[in-house]
Amino acid sequence: MLELIQIPFSPFCIVQRRILEYSGTPFKIRNIPSGDRSLVWKLTRQRYYEVPIVRDGKKVIFEFGENSQVIAKYLDQKLNLNLFPIQWEGLQDVVWHYFENQIESIGFKLNDIRYLDFIPRGDQLSFLRHKERKFGRKCLEGWQASEGQLLEQLEQKLSPCEEMLLHRDFLLDDMPRFVDFDLFGMLGNFLFSGHYTLPPRHKKLSAWYDRMAVLKLNKAPREKLHTRHERPAPRPKLNS
């Protein structure tokens, strides 16, 4: 059985968790403290300490760089989800880079300033220490003071997402692709504390998020799958 090793509020863990939930395949979740990556370090044979990682029997799947999607592509192939169809190659890379840089960089700050609400008391010191070592002393206080500005920036950064959903149910076409799950993870992190909602003016985005939260594979329209090098058969020409 697949096992997801995660920190529950991590945006990147939320992405893979929602993919697994969507697939309908049975899987296990193992939560680890945000300040203790020793299990990840052990399972990856001292090659990786970030989250998430996925264990599939004796295999341990993890990212090889900041700009890889090893886990999602592994799950996509194993579970036959068609999240990376050939017609969206390249474009999906551009889109998820935007989500993971522009959206996540604001959303995690707004979630982190509420850490007292969801980090267990015994882990709060290590969480604070980790944040300040990475982003500087008093970083959380600074983000708290800038909360209004951060919310305004997030609303602006989400405008292209709202526009993408004006005339379709998902970001690219009539099925959820990887970028849908990726954006869901970035927003899931922003919303994790329960203190925020999506910007009211982004009505299409809010409706999309609600759909993505409960979407299952057997309820989604399916289409013929093509391998990376296989192209759809050309349409027959009509006689004039």
Which CATH number goes with the domain that contains 138? 1.20.1050.10
pLDDT of residue 65: 86
Residues 134 and 208 in one domain: yes
pLDDT of residue 99: 98
Residue ranges in the chain modelled with pLDDT below 70: 219-240
For 27-83, the DSSP string reads EEEEE--TT--HHHHHHTTSS---S-EEEETTEEE--SSTT--HHHHHHHHHHT---
Whether 162 is in a domain gets the answer: yes
What does the pLDDT look like over 74-95, one tens digit per residue?
999 999 999 999 999 999 999 9
Q: State the Cα–Cα distance between residues 27 and 62, nearest whole angstrom.
A: 17
Residues 57 and 92 in one domain: no
Domain boundary among 22, 45, 79: 79
Whether 183 is in a domain gets the answer: yes
User: Strand, coil or helix: what is 187?
Assistant: helix
Give the DSSP letter of residue 8. Answer: T
Whether 176 is in a domain gets the answer: yes
Residues 181 and 154 in one domain: yes
Domain boundary among 79, 108, 142: 79
Whether 74 is in a domain gets the answer: yes
CATH of the domain at 70: 3.40.30.10
**In which domain, by residue range, is 67 found?**
2-79
H or E element: which one contains 4? strand 2-6
**In the chain, how many domains are there?**
2
pLDDT of residue 135: 97
Residue written as token pair 């059985």: 1
**Residue (of 52, 54, 32, 50) closest to 41 by Cα position:** 50
- Token couple for 240: 């004039």
pLDDT of residue 133: 95
